[in-house]
Chain A
Amino acid sequence: MLKKKLCSSSQISAILSRSVTSTNFSSPISISHCCNSSVFNSPSLFSSSSSCFFGRAEGKPFHSGRGLLFPTSISNLTRDNASFLRNENLFCSLSKSAEKYQCWNCGANAENSTLFLFCEACRSVQPVNESTDYFQIFGLGREYKVKVEELEKTYKDWQKKLHPDLVHSKSQREREYAAEQSARVIDAYRTLTDPLSRAIYLVKLEGVLVDEEERITDPELLAEVMELREAVDEAEGTRALNEIQVQLQEKLRYWSNSFEDAYLNKNYEDALASIRRMTYYKRTNEEIVKKL
């Protein structure tokens, strides 16, 4: 069966190579999308070619494909192109061990398969890879505690390579990549520097989402928040406000630690409770800042 497929696809391989270059083939996003279509059509072919294209799955084992989720990112490939590429899987030129990305510009292999924002060899910006999470961008594991000064340093280092201002003379394509990558790094930096957004992001990575419209009636918590907000409103003078701020910082520290414990124990209920409290305290702090 394989040989038959080989013959039929040799004719279309020429068409294939044309479609490949035009559809930005080396982008890992489009690769996985084409494999997506192939999964549902030919599971047997798929298992033989799995290792060629699965760098994207972040080392997760490739089991009969149907249950796997693919990132739903945009792709230039239409179904027709995808079917050509499906056949290409049979004799893919990438070696089985190379779960790496290649630079679109010079073809060099990425040294690091999980973090490829910039090609050191030709110094060109790479397209955004949605599966790289914010922690990976900063070379960190998924942990709550981070060293904020180091974050800043890494952030600046990245911007020295990715900032759009540095690519004025380069191609339109690379300028677009620079704009997207740079924006993503900024997002990552902002999310990770603030303890609350970091906490929300961490649990989001575990699939736990904070409900934007949740309403609570916990009398103890609400009475406390009410009291705090009233105190801020009635406070006159910087000293009074600063006193309240100190109290708030204390509470934020306590609940930060509580969040970390809950997260480490995978106790997401408690983690969310900590996030709720931190949100309230942070909001109160913002009101103080406005008043100061």
Chain B
Amino acid sequence: MLRHLTTTILGQRLRSAVGGDVLRRMYHERVVDHYNNPRNVGSFDKNDPNVGTGLVGAPACGDVMKLQIRVDEESGKIVDACFKTFGCGSAIASSSVATEWVKGKPMEEVLSIKNTEIAKHLSLPPVKLHCSMLAEDAIKAAVKDYEAKRSKSNGSQDAEPLGKAADA
């Protein structure tokens, strides 16, 4: 069912995107691959304390990208990742690559993933470089969100014993 969902989301876009561009330039086969074999499309529960959600957008092209990570508390490693992107083929492929690359890595390490690496992997043309930038931003935003959640929950944990102590 997920596959059907992803192919309907992506299929239409691919048809129109590739159809329009085929005269001038082809999408690199890796980009097309991410279309035909979408991986990690989906959603995690936003309210899950182990999930970090990064939501970024490129208003000039009307793109919006959501990248979510599930982090293992103890090891600080990203155990799962998923994305949902509405935009051009390059944006979708960039975020797809991003989810693949962050899986299994510690959070600090994924912060060093650079858009240039993603762009190189997908052979993105210059006009599409900002799509890879968006993916890099999404990773960072997801990590930041997770950290913010964690510090908030830690903060309230610290506050509680204090409150109890004050009561007692």
Interface of A with B (CB < 8 Å)?
Answer: 210-219, 221-223, 225-226, 229-230, 233, 275-276, 279-280, 282-284, 287, 290-291
Write the nearest CB–CB distance from B27 to chain A, whole angstroms.
19
A213 contacts which of B9, B12, B60 (Cβ < 8 Å)?
B60
- SS of B interface (majority): mixed
- Chain B residues contacting A217 (CB-CB under 8 Å) are 55-57, 137, 141
Residue of B nearest to A213 (CB): B130
Q: Are B60 and A212 in contact (CB under 8 A)?
A: yes
Q: Are B9 and A233 in contact (CB under 8 A)?
A: yes
Write the nearest CB–CB distance from B102 to chain A, whole angstroms.
18
| In the complex, B2 has a CB within 8 A of chain A | no
Write the nearest CB–CB distance from B79 to chain A, whole angstroms.
24
Write the nearest CB–CB distance from B98 to chain A, whole angstroms.
14
B60 contacts which of A210, A218, A222, A287 (Cβ < 8 Å)?
A210
| In the complex, B8 has a CB within 8 A of chain A | yes
Q: Are B55 and A211 in contact (CB under 8 A)?
A: no
A112 to B55, CA, bound (A): 53
Residue of A nearest to B46 (CB): A223
- Chain B residues contacting A212 (CB-CB under 8 Å) are 60-61, 130
- SS of A interface (majority): helix
A226 to B57, CA, bound (A): 10
Q: Are B64 and A279 in contact (CB under 8 A)?
A: no
22 inter-chain pairs at a CB distance below 8 angstroms, sorted by A residue, are A212-B130, A213-B58, A213-B60, A213-B129, A213-B133, A214-B59, A215-B58, A216-B56, A216-B58, A217-B55, A217-B56, A217-B141, A221-B57, A225-B64, A225-B86, A233-B8, A275-B59, A280-B57, A280-B62, A282-B62, A290-B16, A291-B12
- Chain B residues contacting A282 (CB-CB under 8 Å) are 62
A290 to B12, CA, bound (A): 9
Write the nearest CB–CB distance from B78 to chain A, whole angstroms.
20
Write the nearest CB–CB distance from B15 to chain A, whole angstroms.
10
Write the nearest CB–CB distance from A240 to chain B, whole angstroms.
15
